[in-house]
Every structure is written in structure tokens, then in C-alpha cells.
Structure 1
Amino acid sequence: MSTAPTERPKAATPRSLSGLAPFLRPYRGRIVLALTFMVLAAMATLVLPVALKTLIDEGLVAAEPGARLMALREHFGALFGVGAALGLFSAARFYMVTWLGERVTADLRNAVYAHVVQQSPEFFETTATGEVLSRLTTDTTLVQTVVGSSLSMGLRNAVMGIGALGMLVATNPYVMGQVLGILVLVVLPALLFGRRVRKLSRASQDRVADSSAIAAEVLNAVPVVQSYTQEKREASRFTLSTEAAFDTAKKRTLVRSILVAFIITATFGALLWGLYQGTQAVIRGDITAGHLGQTVLYVIVLVSSVAVLSEVYGDLLRAAGASERLMELLVAHSPVAEPAKPRALPPTKRGSRVTLQGLRFHYPSRPNQAALMDFNLDVQPGETVALVGPSGAGKTTVFQLLLRFYDAEAGQVQVDGVDVREAALSDLRQRIGIVPQDSVIFSASAMDNIRYGRPEASDDEVIAAAKAAFAHEFISALPGGYQSFLGERGVRLSGGQRQRISIARAILKNPPLLLLDEATSALDAESERMVQAALEAAMAHRTTLVIAHRLATVQKADRIVVMEAGRIVDQGTHAELIERDGLYARLAAMQFGLEGSAPAVSLVAS
């Protein structure tokens, strides 16, 4: 179960939509135009009853038979003109508000996504990817519905309702007083039901997000699910989640249905009561038939406006919950912040110097277990240092702190004499290249995947990097060569091929500091031999930190650092460590015991 990045309030209110103001502000001109067309359309609607009154009183009742035909033509022409104006203004309003809805939603989605991808890994320790995807899709769609439709309808009906109320006050205060009483009976229950709808709307969106989180997790691990024949179990788990979302949505829909039923009944009752009062006034001779028609139409406009506003209010409550969830993502602040005045990293020729002093670090999700404790390491420019040790020793954590995915609780991490907290994140990470254990392949071509390391690189430079990583041969054999689409997460490639693409990406970046996290773990013996040669060439003239997996890598390192429980317990060359008969020698002996005289020894990485 995922949790939100910030504490959730008990319920959203329409006031929560104020968070959209920064996204609406750039389009003030279009908003003014939309409001202008909306007011004009509302005014055209309000003119219709007056035109109808004139038609009845002057075209049907008062005129002589000869003149009546001419009057009818004139009045019907005027009515057509009003209708045409209503159609024109309504079309212009629809276009403007729909454009605003689409544009604001796109801007909001872009802003949320751009903000989320800048968050540190700590953010994703507590927020599932599916939760974020749900907010980017479902919640933004709700916001789009309100900005591009419901809000405009609400404002339009508010203008018409106020206008109709004003005309009723001017033409028939008696009927207006009764209608106001009915409106109170309609509005009060809507406000009472609104609180319940608001809570259920937020709960419904949370349940949908839970389903999205489950789907995202399982779809990214389909081979594992199928290999353990857990398809039915995962389908059942997803079904339970969607059923929970359905149950919540059903409750919300039931409450809104009751509200709609009450509003329609009250609206119909108000219409009949106004019509009854009007017919009695005509019979008494107090008003004309045209006046009655005008009054009835204004009552219809007023009460229907209230009915629409009640419906829009429910949409606003749902959108308020969606807006609130999106704002939670936008206000989430990464604990890894850019320095106010970043220090420039000095130029380097032979690789970067790495200095780790007195580091202490706990992962936020594991506050009681130290990942690093009193950790000190100094790596000279151009030096290759291997980090070895059992699982959980803290080797990968060293990489995480160097890349400043997290900040150490105590101590310093320096690259070329500059504390990483004082350097711009882009400058720091541009200086570091990493080949992870699990190669990341994007849904793009082989060319674009390698060029990800340096987007401005030419095709020839990309091909040269692929050749250095021994990836050129299998890429050229693909149906489209370097333009071949590799599939989502590289499903069209083998594990070793994906790893070589990742290595080519790092070689193309050509950084002064290279981090290899078991870079040959997915390769067979022949591929490992070729890639190892490529890595050795890539490691030349730069500083390299290697999380060791194969003895071949360890043997060629300038220094081997042995880690256990977040501390350095020994360091030296391969021969020196074997001679000391410590942890390193025991790990090597265990591996030799598994593989006999095999030339590689596996040292599991954390």
C-alpha cells in the first residue's frame, strides 16, 4: 500500500481548486474571452422569455388578424435572431473553455511529472509508481472535466440564475418570494449531502490509485508472475482492489443519485407551483398571458440553474479531491536540494578524486539499521577500487551517496575536493557514469538508448561506443540495425545484450568517474571476456569504483575494499587480502568451493 508524499487532509473542498490558479494565470486573455462569450450566451437565454412575452401579447392576442401575420413574422424573426446569437455565443464559449481545459490539464500533467522525476529515491520509498500514474491520468482527467466543462456550466447557470431572479423581482415579486423559499429547500440538502460526497470522492480516487499501483507492479514483473504460476492470484488481487474502488464509487454514486432525485423533484414542484400561481393571476386579470409565459420561463431558468449548479457542485468536489492529490505531488520537496550558490567542480584530466569521510547513513525506510557507519575512503584520480563484501554490506549505498540520491546524516562526500552538497546536481551527475546491475533499456531504438548517455553525440560516436562495448555486432544484426525498436524495458534483447547497451551508454558519456555495479553480472563467459576488455579500456584515464562480482575484476583492481555491516573491515590487493585470511579470503574460498577451479569468484553485492 502506497502512501502520499504529504499528510492528507480529512476532506477536500472547492477551495482546494485554488491550487490551479498558477496554471490558469498565463491564459488570462482566453479566460476573459470565455467569460465574455459565457455572459453573452446567458444574456441571450434571458432575452428569450421577453421575446416570447412580446410574441404572445402583441403577435397573438393584441393584433388584428391582418396585422397579426406581419407581427408574427417580425417576432419569429426576432426569436430566430436570439436563437442564432445563443448558438454562436455558446459555440464560442464551448471552444474557449474546452481549449482551456485541455491546455491547463496538459500544463498540470507536465508540471507534476517534471517535479516527480526530480524527487530523490526517498520519495519512491513511500509512494508507489502506480499511485503517481493514477494522479497523472485519472486525477488530471477530473480536473480537465471541471476546467473544460463543469466550471463553465456552473458559471453560465449562475449568471442565468441571477438574471432570472432579477427579472422575477422586477416583474413578479410575489412568485419570486415563493420560488426563493423552494430554492432554500433545494440548496440546503445539497450542502448537507456535499460533505458526504466530498469524502467519498476522495476515497474513490484513492481506491483507483491502489488498483493502478498493483497493476504497475505486476505488469513490470510478468515473467516472474508467470514463472511462479501466480496469474490467477494476481488477477484476484487486482479484482479485490477494483471491487473496493467500485464499492466506494457505488456509495458516492448513491449519495449523488439521492441528491439528484431530490433536486429534480423540487425543480418540478417549483415549476408546477409557479405555473399554478401564474394561471390564477391570468384568470383574475392581474397579468397577461404573455406575462405568464415569461414568468414561467424565468422560473424554469432559475430552478434549472439551481439544479445544474447542484450537479456541478458535485463535480467540483470530485475535482477538488483530484486537485488536492496533484498539489500534494507538486509541494513534495526532495530532501536532496540544490545548493543556493553551487560551487563549480574543478577540471580534471586523469579522473576524479573521491573522498568519503566519517559517513553515517540510514535509509529512511530502515531508520534502525545503519547502511554505513564511520565509513572512510579516499580514492585517487585514475585509481580503480573494488568494493566487495556480503549482501547488505553497504556497497551500493556508497554509489547512492556519490550520486547524491541521498545525503549522509554525518560526514562528507567529496568529488574533486568539493562537497557534493555544495555542487549543482547536474554538474555532479554529469561527471559520473554508472553501469547498474539491472540494465535500464528505454522504449526506443538502439541508437537512442546508447545516445541517452550523451544526447548531442553523433551517430559515428554512438557506433564507436557500441563497438567498444562489443554491442555493434548484435545491434547490426537486428532487423533495423541501430534504428531497431528494442521494446519496453528491452524485452527484445537478452540480458547480456541489455548490459552491453548500458555499458556503451556509459562509454559514450565518457565521465571522469565511473561506477560499475556488477556490470558483467548478466553476461555469459564469452561475452564477459569481451566486455571485460571493453570495461578495462573504459576505465583507463578515469577513476573507477567497482562493486565486485567476478574475481577477474577484483584481481585487476588497484585496491580492494572489503565491507561488512556498513564498515570497511579490510583493504588491499587481491594477494594481500588472500594472505591475511580474513573475510575476503573466506568469501573467495566459498566461491571456489562452489565452482572448483573456475577462474571467477562471485562476491554478492548489496
Structure 2
Amino acid sequence: MTLALFRAATQCCFRISRSSEGLKSFTRKTLPIILGGSTTLCLVGFNLRNVKAEAPSKREKEILPSRVVEAKSEKLSSTDPSNDHPFPWIKFLGYITPHFHYLICAVCSAIAVAYFNIKIPLLLGDIVNVVSSYISETVLSEMRHDNFLREMKEPTLSMIKFYAAQSICTIAYIYSLACLGERMAASLRKDLFNSIICQDIAFFDEHKTGEIVSRLSADVQEFKSSFKLVISQGLRSSAQASGCIVSMYMISPQMTSAMGVIVPTVILGGTYIGSYLRVLSKKAQAQVAKATAVGEECISNIRTVRGFAMEDAEMELYSREVDKTRDFNEALGLGIGVFQGASNFFLNSIVLGTITYGGYLMSDDNLNPGQLMSFLVSVQTIQRSITQVSLLFGHLVKGMASGSRIFEYIEKVPLIPISGGVKIPYHSFFGDVEFKNITFSYPTRPEQAVLKDFSLRIPPSKTVALVGTSGGGKTTIAALLERFYDINGGGSLEIDGINIRDLDPSWLRGSAIGYINQEPVLFATSVIENIRYGRPNATDNEVYEAAKAAHVDDFVRTFPDGYSTILGERGVTVSGGQKQRIAIARALLKNPPILILDEATSALDAESERIVQEALDKLSKGRTSLVIAHRLSTIKNADVIAVIDKGVMAEIGTHAALKRKGGIYSRLIEQQEFRE
């Protein structure tokens, strides 16, 4: 469009030149400028691809599963200050400092590229002056062809040298930024992952897995890409624009002063739009994370979805979450289109004004064609730089939004530390556990007390079983013993007379306590490595001994690859009973003084239960054991049975004593015998 305006203006001036000597002079002097302008003047369009915004849906709620309705009704308030985590510039600089030499190299190379981009238009002006001198009829009749080549040789060779140097410096600064960006992203990703896995269990209760994974993958990638692009393009554009302004002032102070009125207007407008886009972009990324969480939850639970024939409902849920972003991106596109149109108008006005005012100065012999050509190319360079900066606003605000989300997790300090505290020596560790008047509620439901003034003592080397209806607080007791949560409503939990808050959590979970639940998690690695997870420094022979004691060896030997057999994700390639036996072998290898069994056999068939129960009996021998049981027949021989009802201790005693009492425990036995 710029080139078309230029040609139209030139042709119009040429047609009317017969009636105006001044305009005839102007046309004759500006005509050679087409030679250079037609190959350099261009506009770069505003990039709309990566700008996203969250939008409330206008559709009415349909009858969908409660999880779907809940997800649909969540709002991302753009005015809620609690959702806006400021970008920590000082922390960010800490990730740049170790790789500062790459940044210095990139800056120097980018400045060199900008310098060459400034010098090239000036050399181009010299070439245009040589060419324009040969357009004159007088010169053509007196000068010979070899003179033209001789005059063109020096500026042409200089241009080639500058082009070569520019290419080398471009390679240097792009490679330096690539190294800087990748190393910074690697450090960020490591620190983010380290911070995530060190968070309290309550953190994972509050955040969906898909949202966490989105920050670990998509946000880090977006931040890295935006950082590299903003630094490379922003640095080069800023240096080029600054240098071109100096060159323009040296060529024509009058035209440069006129330019100083329009350019700041465009920059201020872009800055305002950028600040607005940052808010929208962060909310959009939160919406994307929510959609990712919905998809991840569906895929990870695909068997449940398939079992209840809920594919259509899940597809509808995911579609609606994606549509929120799509619908408002279209609306946002209209606003950006208006901004782009206004920007193009101002930028094209700069070129048109330069041609008009420059032609006026040429008609008064205050400017020659080469100077006007150099000025126009400098204007075009500034124009392109401003356009690039406008493009970078979208990347900048999105990158800062991603960075804020990343650093929000990195800076999050867990309430329960991973390590640090008292470690009881193994030879003096008895395993005496006592719950004292504990009242507890989950952080996600602080108004609902799960345990109320609960007290229980588990003597050393004894087995205490917890029974009761679902939701009574049995698993919560086990979670407190593992210190997955801290007691928040009063009371204390002591092990060998030491408050659990004073013990080293890493030692407590890694050495003191073994935990086996109803559905133990296995990793997508070999059988031997899954067992060795209980004690990473264990030898192969120690693993084999633990496997034999847990009846794992019986079925593993039937696998083609034996202990090297790779299990599927979460151990889907083995049965429930086999998973339980592998988990028991893992606990045996760990050899913990305290053992927690959370309904370890409730989901097994009779034969698998018999085998697993036999392994559990071996595992529990000589250890302080807390057993949470659903099948009451498995805990008849427990030293103490505690009945938990709605968070309180309802009954306590042996199997025989509680059965004779005729209370809750007796009724539970009768109900279970009736069902069987």
C-alpha cells in the first residue's frame, strides 16, 4: 500500500508538471527514488494468533453431571486482585545472571545488526545519487559506461561487506538467545517441578492435575518463547529505531521534528493496549489450564467414563470450555483490528508526509534524491520497528502472564517442610503412637470437622484396627500419622513421646512408616524398580527376598521378561491382587517400624485376598500396625479395634468384647454377614 501511494503521488506530480516548473523539478528529482523504494517499503501486519482471552459463556446450563456443571459455573474474575500474581522481576533476573555472557553476546550482536541496518540506507542513498546522476540527459551524453561502473564499485562493495557482517551478527545473536532461553527455561522447569512436588498434600487437593501440568509444560514453553522473541526483536527494533532517528536528524532536522509528533502517539496507544491485553491474556491462560484439566481428568479416568457411557457429556464439557476462549477471541480480534487499522493509518501517514514534505524541500534544493531516499528508508525502518514492537506487546503480555503463573508456584512455600527435624535412631525406635484430643478439618473444607476430640494410643508392636462407616474419618487418621496434613483444630500426635511436628518428615515417611492403601500406585517401569522404590539403595538380592515374602515371585517368574517386565501406567498390566503384592514387597524392603494398611484387601477376590492377607500378616509381625478395614473378618485378631463414627471414637476393645457389647461394631458385623 505504501508503494502504491508513492507511485500514485509521483505519477500525479509528473502529469501536472507541464504547468508548474517547480513541480516539474520536484518530479524529476524524486523519480529515481522509485528504484530503491520499490524494493524496501513494506508494512508488517499485526499478529493476532497468540492473543487469548477468557469469556463467560452466555449459554444456559443443561442437565449434566455435577462435575460438568461445577466446571461450567467457575468464573475467572478479572477484577479479583487475589488472582493477579505480580511478575517478580528480581527473581527473574536471578535466572538470567548465570547465563549473563550469552545475554551480553546477544546484545552486542543485536546492536551490531542495528548499526548495519542504519548504515545500509545511507549507502543506498549514495548509490541512488550515482544512478540519478546518469538519468540526466546532460550526463548521459558526456559520461561513458566505464565511468558508471567505477563510481558504483565502491558503494556496492561496501554494501556487500555490510550485508555479510549483518548476516554473521544475526547468526550470533540468534544462537546466543537460543542458549540463554533454553538454559533459563531448563532452570525454571526444574525449580517449578521441585517446588510442586514439595507442596503440601492440601495443594494437590485444591488444584487439578491438568492445571499443574499446564504450568509445568505450556506456561514454561510460552514464557521461554516470549522471552526469546521479545529480547531479540525488541532489542534489535529499539536499537534500529534509535539509530535511525539520529541518522534522520543528520539528514534533515526539519522532517525529523515533524516525525516526532506522530510516533509518540502510536507508541502510547500501543502501551495502553498492551496493559489491557495482559489482564485478558492471564485470564485466558487460566481458562486454557481449566480446559486442560477437564481433558486430563477425563483421559486419566477413561475406564470410568466408558463404564458409565459418559463420553457425550465429557465431550460437551470440554467443548464448552474450549468455546469460551474461541468466542471471546473473535470479539477481541475486532478490537485488535481497530487498533491495527489506526496504527496502519498513522504509519502510512508518516510515509506520505515524508514524501510530500521531502519533495517540498527538494523543490527548494534543500534536499537531494539520495538524502530523501535514505530518509525514506530510515522512516520505513522505524515504521517496521514500531510494528514489530506492536507485535511484541501481545507476546510480552502473554509471556509475563505465563511467568507470573510459573513464579507463583515457585515462590509458594509449603506449610509442612519436606525435611528437617528430629530423627529417632533405629535401635531406640519403639513405634509408640498416640493421638491426643485431635480435632481436624481438611483445608479445602475448613468448616467441616472430620475428627472431633479424637484420642487413640497404638502401643509398640501392636495392631490397632479402625472400622466404621465410610466418611467417618478413618483414612484421615492415617493421613495425619503420615503427616500429609498438620493438625489444625487442636490436639497433638506423638511418636515415642515426640510431637510429630518436631520429627523430620522425610525420615518419617521414608524410613519410619510404611503405607499400603486400597489402590497402590505403580510406575511405568520394571517390576524390580517398582519394588526398589521402597529403598532405592537396595540390592537385587534384597529385592528378590522381599518379593518372595510378599508372594510376588510366584507370578513374576511367569512373565517373559521376569523382574524386568515393564508395567503399564499406574500398573494397569497387572491385576489388583498382583499390584497389592508388589506394594507389600515394596514395604517389606523398606522394613518400617510402623505400618499403615488402608483397606489393603477390600477390592480383591477371595483367593487374592487370602494370598495378600498372608503376606500382610508376615509384614505386620513385630511392627506397630494401624489397619483400616472394610472386611471385618480380616481384623478379628487385632489387639485393639476402634470404631470411628462421624469423627469421634464410638467404641474400642477387642473383637470379642465389642461383639458382646452389641453396639455399632456388632451391627456392622451383622450387616456384613447378611450381605455375604
4+ residue stretches of structure 1 with deviation over 4 A?
1-4, 10-19, 62-65
Change (3 A) 1:334 1:3: farther
What is the CA–CA distance in structure 1 between the aligned matches of 2:101 and 2:332, rounded to whole Å?
37
Change (3 A) 1:557 1:578: same
Q: Secondary structure at the match of 1:368?
A: coil
Change (3 A) 1:583 1:13: closer
Q: Which residue of 2 aligns with 1:304?
A: 384
Q: Deviations over 1:210-263 (max 9, x none)?
A: 111111111121111111111011111110111112123333343333323332
Q: Which residue of 2 aligns with 1:346?
A: 425
RMSD, aligned α-carbons: 2.4
Change (3 A) 1:13 1:320: farther
Structure 1 window deviating more from structure 2 (278-287 vs 567-576): it is 278-287
Q: Which residue of 1 aligns with 2:403?
A: 323
The one-letter amino acid paired with 2:356 is Y
Change (3 A) 1:375 1:13: closer
Change (3 A) 1:304 1:533: same
Give the Å deviation of 1:499.
Answer: 1.8
Structure 2 residue 123 is matched with structure 1 residue 51: yes
C-alpha contact 1:218 1:225 (8 A) present in aligned 2? yes
C-alpha contact 1:440 1:489 (8 A) present in aligned 2? yes
What is the CA–CA distance in structure 1 between the aligned matches of 2:272 and 2:643, rounded to whole Å?
66
Q: Deviations over 1:293-317 (max 9, x none)?
A: 2111111111211111111122111
Q: Deviations over 1:82-106 (max 9, x none)?
A: 0111111111111111222222222
Structure 2 residue aligned with 1:369, among 439, 448, 452? 448
Structure 2 residue 104 is matched with structure 1 residue 24: no
Change (3 A) 1:561 1:325: same
The one-letter amino acid paired with 2:95 is F
Give the Å deviation of 1:148.
Answer: 1.7
Q: Which residue of 2 aligns with 1:221?
A: 301
C-alpha contact 1:454 1:508 (8 A) present in aligned 2? yes
C-alpha contact 1:381 1:543 (8 A) present in aligned 2? yes
Structure 1 residue aligned with 2:667, among 586, 590, 595? 586
The number of residue pairs the alignment matches comes to 592
Give the Å deviation of 1:461.
Answer: 2.1
What is the CA–CA distance in structure 1 between the aligned matches of 2:668 and 2:86, rounded to whole Å?
62
C-alpha contact 2:465 2:640 (8 A) present in aligned 1? yes
Structure 1 residue aligned with 2:596, among 489, 493, 515? 515
Structure 1 residue aligned with 2:460, among 351, 375, 381? 381
Q: Secondary structure at the match of 2:450?
A: strand
What is the CA–CA distance in structure 1 between the aligned matches of 2:491 and 2:584, rounded to whole Å?
31
Structure 1 residue aligned with 2:498, among 418, 428, 432? 418
The one-letter amino acid paired with 2:462 is E
The one-letter amino acid paired with 2:624 is T
Change (3 A) 1:254 1:323: farther
Q: Which residue of 1 aligns with 2:234?
A: 154
C-alpha contact 1:361 1:372 (8 A) present in aligned 2? yes
> Which aligned pairs between 1:267-282 and structure 2 lie closer than 5 A?
267-282=347-362
Structure 2 residue aligned with 1:177, among 243, 248, 257? 257
Q: Which residue of 2 aligns with 1:35?
A: 107
The one-letter amino acid paired with 1:581 is G
Q: Deviations over 1:155-195 (max 9, x none)?
A: 21011111111222222111112222221332233233224
What is the CA–CA distance in structure 1 between the aligned matches of 2:579 and 2:231, rounded to whole Å?
49
Give the Å deviation of 1:36.
Answer: 1.3
Q: Which residue of 1 aligns with 2:224?
A: 144
Structure 2 residue 404 is matched with structure 1 residue 332: no
Higher Cα radius of gyration? 2
Structure 1 window deviating more from structure 2 (520-529 vs 40-49): it is 520-529
Structure 1 residue aligned with 2:515, among 434, 441, 453? 434
Q: Which residue of 2 aligns with 1:265?
A: 345
Q: Secondary structure at the match of 2:636?
A: helix
Q: Which residue of 2 aligns with 1:570?
A: 651
Structure 2 residue aligned with 1:76, among 148, 156, 166? 156
Q: Deviations over 1:499-520 (max 9, x none)?
A: 2222222122111111110111
Q: Deviations over 1:32-56 (max 9, x none)?
A: 1111111111111111112223333
C-alpha contact 1:121 1:406 (8 A) present in aligned 2? yes
Structure 1 window deviating more from structure 2 (166-175 vs 426-435): it is 166-175
Structure 2 residue aligned with 1:494, among 567, 572, 575? 575
Change (3 A) 1:418 1:113: same
What is the CA–CA distance in structure 2 between the aligned matches of 1:299 and 1:28, rounded to whole Å?
33
Structure 2 residue 586 is matched with structure 1 residue 505: yes
The one-letter amino acid paired with 1:358 is N
Change (3 A) 1:366 1:501: same
Q: Deviations over 1:470-529 (max 9, x none)?
A: 122322323432222221222212222222222222122111111110111232212221
The one-letter amino acid paired with 1:508 is L
C-alpha contact 1:14 1:316 (8 A) present in aligned 2? no
Q: Secondary structure at the match of 1:556?
A: coil
C-alpha contact 2:593 2:623 (8 A) present in aligned 1? yes
Percentage of identical aligned residues? 33
What is the CA–CA distance in structure 1 between the aligned matches of 2:172 and 2:334, rounded to whole Å?
35
Q: Deviations over 1:429-466 (max 9, x none)?
A: 11111001122122222222222111222222222222
Change (3 A) 1:258 1:453: farther
Structure 2 residue aligned with 1:200, among 267, 277, 280? 280
The one-letter amino acid paired with 1:189 is G
Q: Deviations over 1:353-408 (max 9, x none)?
A: 21221211111222232211222222222111111111122111111111111111
Q: Secondary structure at the match of 2:438?
A: strand
C-alpha contact 2:577 2:612 (8 A) present in aligned 1? no
What is the CA–CA distance in structure 2 between the aligned matches of 1:231 and 1:265, rounded to whole Å?
50
Q: Secondary structure at the match of 2:426?
A: coil
C-alpha contact 1:182 1:270 (8 A) present in aligned 2? yes
TM-score calculated relative to the size of structure 2: 0.83
Structure 1 residue aligned with 2:364, among 262, 265, 284? 284
Q: Which residue of 2 aligns with 1:602?
A: none
Structure 2 residue aligned with 1:240, among 320, 328, 338? 320
The one-letter amino acid paired with 1:220 is S
Structure 1 window deviating more from structure 2 (12-21 vs 458-467): it is 12-21
Structure 2 residue 526 is matched with structure 1 residue 445: yes
What is the CA–CA distance in structure 2 between the aligned matches of 1:15 and 1:168, rounded to whole Å?
37
Q: Secondary structure at the match of 1:370?
A: coil
C-alpha contact 2:85 2:404 (8 A) present in aligned 1? no
Give the Å deviation of 1:18.
Answer: 5.6
Q: Which residue of 1 aligns with 2:40?
A: none
Structure 2 residue 629 is matched with structure 1 residue 537: no
Q: Secondary structure at the match of 1:150?
A: helix
Q: Secondary structure at the match of 1:260?
A: helix
> Which aligned pairs between 1:390-401 and structure 2 lie closer than 5 A?
390-401=469-480
Change (3 A) 1:46 1:128: same
Structure 1 window deviating more from structure 2 (281-290 vs 314-323): it is 281-290
C-alpha contact 1:470 1:534 (8 A) present in aligned 2? yes
Q: Secondary structure at the match of 1:561?
A: strand
Q: Which residue of 2 aligns with 1:109?
A: 189
Q: Which residue of 1 aligns with 2:200?
A: 120
Q: Secondary structure at the match of 2:149?
A: helix
Give the Å deviation of 1:59.
Answer: 7.4
Change (3 A) 1:254 1:517: same
Change (3 A) 1:192 1:345: same
Q: Which residue of 2 aligns with 1:600?
A: none
Structure 1 window deviating more from structure 2 (327-336 vs 24-33): it is 327-336
Change (3 A) 1:429 1:13: closer
What is the CA–CA distance in structure 2 between the aligned matches of 1:87 and 1:12, rounded to whole Å?
42
Structure 1 window deviating more from structure 2 (169-178 vs 8-17): it is 8-17
Q: Secondary structure at the match of 1:568?
A: strand
Q: Secondary structure at the match of 1:358?
A: strand
What is the CA–CA distance in structure 1 between the aligned matches of 2:667 and 2:82, rounded to whole Å?
56
